Amino acid sequence: MCDFRPALTVSRGPCSQQGRVLYRLFFNLSVGIERSLKAIVIIDHMLTNQLAVPNKNQLQGYGHNVVDLYDVCVTIGTTRRSVVPNRSQLDAIDQELLRLISDFARVTRYHNLDALDAQRTRRRAEKENEPAHGWYSS
The per-residue pLDDT for range 50-81, each reduced to its tens digit, is 999 999 999 889 889 999 999 999 999 999 99
DSSP state of 54: P
Taking CB atoms within 8 Å and a gap of at least 24, the contacts of 121-128 are none
Position 105 confidence tier, pLDDT thresholds 50, 70, 90: confident
pLDDT at 26: 85
Domain boundaries of the chain, sorted by first residue: 15-132
pLDDT at 84: 93
Position 111 confidence tier, pLDDT thresholds 50, 70, 90: low
- By the 10 Å C-beta count (0-12 exposed, 13-18 middle, 19+ buried), 66 is classed as buried
Distance CA 23, CA 25 (A): 5
pTM confidence score: 0.69
Mean pLDDT of 26-32: 90
